[in-house]
Structure 1
C-alpha cells in the first residue's frame, strides 16, 4: 500500500525458522492449492443484487471511477465499471505492487538461487552487525527492523540508481528494531530484496519480471517505475520502487491474481511452485507486535510475504489475502469460496476502504 498513506500523497522454499510444524502447514496448503480444494462450484455470471449500489457508494466518497473484476478458476465471472474510468485505464497501484515483488522474488527462491532464511550479510557485505543477520523472509514480511513507511527512505531515492546502490544506502541507515522483532509496514526492505535478486540472477529487475511474470501471464501493460513520478520512462528506471512502483491495468492484475489463485500457474504456464504460493500467504508475523500499520489496514493483524492476511483458519492458514494500495487498488484472493478479484481505481484508499470491504463481503456472501 506504500503510499497514500504518505503525507500529501493521493529449488523449494526453505523452511521457516519455526520448524517442521510450520513447514507442514505450508505444504498442506500447497497441496490444497494444487488440487483445487478451495475452489467451489461454478458461480453464475450475474453480480449479486445490490453490488452496483455498493460501487456507487465508493464514487460517493470521491472516487472518480471504479472497476470491479471478480473471477473463479481463471474465468472472469463479471466486471462492473462505474463512473469515469476507462476499462483499459493504466494506473499506479502503489502497494498492490508488493504482491508482484514478492512473487518475482519467490521465483528465484524456487530456483534455489536464494533462500528465505539465509542472512543477507553473506551476499551483501555492506550489511554488518545485526543488519547482516536480516533474512529475505524478514525483508518480504516487513520484520527486518529497517523502519516503516513514514521514513520514506526508499521513496526519496533517485530512480536512476541501481538496486545495488539503493541497498548500500539503506545499509548505512540505523536499525529501528532488531531483525525479526516487530512488523513495521512500508520501510525500504523490498529494495534490498531486489538487490539480492539482481545479484543472484545477474538480471535487471524489470527484465527479469518481464521474463518470469509478464510474458508467461500475458501481461501487456505492466511496467515498473515510481508511484510519485508518473512521467518517468520505464526503460530508464534502474531503481524501481519495489513497494509501490507498478503501473498496470485491471485486466493485467487480474491475470496475475489468477496465477496465484491457481497455485502458481495460469493457462498451463507455471510461474511459481504451489509451495511458493503457500509461503507467500503463510502468516509471518504471528507473535510479533504490529508496530506500524498504515491507515486503512489498522484492523488487520497478520502479514505474509508481500501480502496481508485478513482472515485465518484456526490453524493459522490464511483464508483471505490482499495487497491494497494507497491509491485505491485492492486485489484479494478468498480461499474459502475460490473467488478472487480486484477493485481498481485512483483515490485515497482510507476514504473508500470501508465501502470496498462491504462490497467484497456482499460478493463473498453471495457465492454458492
Structure 2
C-alpha cells in the first residue's frame, strides 16, 4: 500500500477510537484475498493490540453458522424450503413450520430475543434445551411477510447443524470451515492474547469490566471470538468463496438480497446469513456484531475484491460498521484494483458463437456475449432494460444468475434444419430481427421486412 493510503487508514482508526471512547480499536483491510493492512489504537500508548489479539465478534458468528447450513444444502442433506421440524422436531409447533431459508434471512417472523432473562448476560445453562430459546408465542409476524431480525432463529439453525452432523455445531465449524481456511485463532471461548470487554460511562470518562457469559444454546447467534488476521481470511472467503468450504456460486447466492431493508435502514437488507449495505455507490456484504463489552463489523465488496473490518472492546460507542466501511472505501478509492488482463478464452463451442451478437425483444435491442468459461451475458444495448448472466445446465439450457432473470431458464429454440430460430427466456421470445414475420412472435405481428 502507498504511504498516503496507510496514513489515511490509521487516521480513520485513530479517530474512531478517540471519538468512540473505546479502550482499543483494531482495523484491517483485505485486497485480492489477503491481508494488506492492519492498524490499531489503544488507551495505553505503545501497547495497542495487534492483528492476533482476540475480540468477541457477536453476530458475525451468524455468517459462520449460515455457511455450515449452506454446506448441508449443497450436499443435498436439506433444502432451504424444508420446514425446520423435518430436521429438528424438538423445535415444536411454534417454530417447526418455519423454513430454513426464512430463518437464514430473518423472514421467519420469530421473536428478536429469547424469553428472559437477557441471554447475552446470563449463563447458557439457563436454556439447556432447544425449546428454551423460544417463548410460549415465539412467532411475532406471519412467516415470509417481513424482515424481523431474530437471534433465536440462529440458535435453531445451530441445532439443525448439530442434528445433521451428529456433533456440536462448534466442532463441525472447526472441522469444516475454520481448519480448511487456516483460522486457528477463531474459537468459542477466548484464548490469550484476548482483549477484555468494558462498559464506558456515557457521560463520564470512566469504565468498568463487562461480564462475559458463555451463551450455550444461543451461542450460534453470537458466541465466537476472533482476530483481525483470522477475520481477514473470512472476508476473503465471503468475497470469493473457497472450494474447500463452499463454492463461489453458493457464497454469491448468500450475498444476494433475500429480505428487503427495514424502513429505518433503507440502505440495508439481508441475504442468507449476511447483512447487505449500500454505501457510496458500493454494494457491501458482511455483518456487524455486538456482545457486552465488544463491537465488531466486517464488510466486503466482492466486485472490487476489497474487504475491511473493525473490532472494539466496549459495549457501545464507536460506529464500527461505518469505520469498517470507511476503511474499505479509503482503500478502493485511493488504490483501485487493476482489472484482470483480457485474454482470449479457451476454444469456444461453435454453437455458442452462433448465439453471440444482437437479439431483439420486440423492438428492444439486446446483445448476447459469450464470456470466458462459456458463460452467456445478455444485456440491453441502450443501457435500459433487463439483463443477466446465464450459466449452462446439464440439459443444455441456461439459468439466469441475477436480476429479473435470476433462476429463469433460457432455451435455444432451433429450426428443423438445426439453425437457431429464437431464444426463449421464461416465454419471452428474442429474435434476430425485430418483428420478422417468419419468427414465432407471440400474438403475431405483420412485420415490415417486405416478405
Give the TM-score, by structure 1 length.
0.73
Name 2:424's counterpart in structure 1: none
The structure-2 alpha-carbon separation of the partners of 1:207 and 1:162, relative to structure 1 and needing over 3 Å to count, comes to farther
Q: Which structure shows the higher helix fraction?
A: 1
The structure-2 alpha-carbon separation of the partners of 1:173 and 1:45, relative to structure 1 and needing over 3 Å to count, comes to farther
Within 5 A, what are the aligned runs for 1:247-266? 247-265=225-243
Q: Which structure shows the higher strand fraction?
A: 2
- What SS class does the counterpart of residue 307 from structure 2 fall into? strand
Contact 2:110 2:150 in 1 (8 A): no
Q: Paired residue for 1:86, among 49, 56, 74?
A: 49
Shift of 1:172: 4.2
Structure 2: gaps (5+ residues): 191-196, 198-209, 337-451
Shift of 1:48: 4.9
**Is 1:367 the equivalent of 2:341?**
no
The structure-2 alpha-carbon separation of the partners of 1:351 and 1:59, relative to structure 1 and needing over 3 Å to count, comes to closer
CA distance in 2 between counterparts of 1:130 and 1:328 reads 32
* Corresponding pairs, count: 307
CA distance in 1 between counterparts of 2:16 and 2:34 reads 25
Contact 2:34 2:233 in 1 (8 A): no
Contact 2:63 2:287 in 1 (8 A): yes
Contact 1:323 1:332 in 2 (8 A): yes
The structure-2 alpha-carbon separation of the partners of 1:113 and 1:155, relative to structure 1 and needing over 3 Å to count, comes to farther
CA distance in 1 between counterparts of 2:279 and 2:318 reads 26
| Greater relative CO (CA pairs within 8 A, separation 6+) | 1
Shift of 1:169: 4.7
Which moves more between the two structures, 71-80 or 44-53? 44-53
CA distance in 1 between counterparts of 2:250 and 2:134 reads 27
Shift of 1:328: 2.5
Q: Paired residue for 2:221, among 235, 240, 243?
A: 243
Within 5 A, what are the aligned runs for 1:114-263? 114-127=78-91, 131-149=95-113, 155=120, 158-160=123-125, 165-167=129-131, 169-170=133-134, 172-224=136-188, 230=212, 232=214, 239=217, 241-263=219-241
Name 1:278's counterpart in structure 2: 252
Q: Paired residue for 1:74, among 14, 17, 33?
A: 33
CA distance in 2 between counterparts of 1:154 and 1:188 reads 10
Contact 2:88 2:163 in 1 (8 A): no
The structure-2 alpha-carbon separation of the partners of 1:260 and 1:357, relative to structure 1 and needing over 3 Å to count, comes to closer
CA distance in 2 between counterparts of 1:321 and 1:177 reads 26
CA distance in 2 between counterparts of 1:126 and 1:339 reads 42
Structure 1: gaps (5+ residues): 1-42
**Is 1:331 the equivalent of 2:298?**
yes
- Summarize deviations over 1:99-131 as a string: whole Å, max 9, x none: 112112222222221211111132333455573
Shift of 1:182: 1.6
Q: Paired residue for 1:102, among 61, 66, 80?
A: 66
Within 5 A, what are the aligned runs for 1:42-81? 47-61=5-19, 62-81=21-40
Shift of 1:151: 6.1
Q: Paired residue for 1:342, among 309, 315, 320?
A: 309
The structure-2 alpha-carbon separation of the partners of 1:59 and 1:229, relative to structure 1 and needing over 3 Å to count, comes to closer
* CA RMSD after TM alignment: 3.2
Larger radius of gyration: 2
CA distance in 2 between counterparts of 1:82 and 1:334 reads 25
CA distance in 1 between counterparts of 2:325 and 2:284 reads 12
CA distance in 1 between counterparts of 2:299 and 2:132 reads 34
CA distance in 1 between counterparts of 2:249 and 2:126 reads 33
Shift of 1:161: 7.5
Shift of 1:188: 0.8
Which moves more between the two structures, 55-64 or 84-93? 84-93
Shift of 1:303: 0.6
The structure-2 alpha-carbon separation of the partners of 1:135 and 1:44, relative to structure 1 and needing over 3 Å to count, comes to farther
Contact 2:59 2:221 in 1 (8 A): yes
Within 5 A, what are the aligned runs for 1:266-305? 270-286=244-260, 290=262, 298-305=265-272
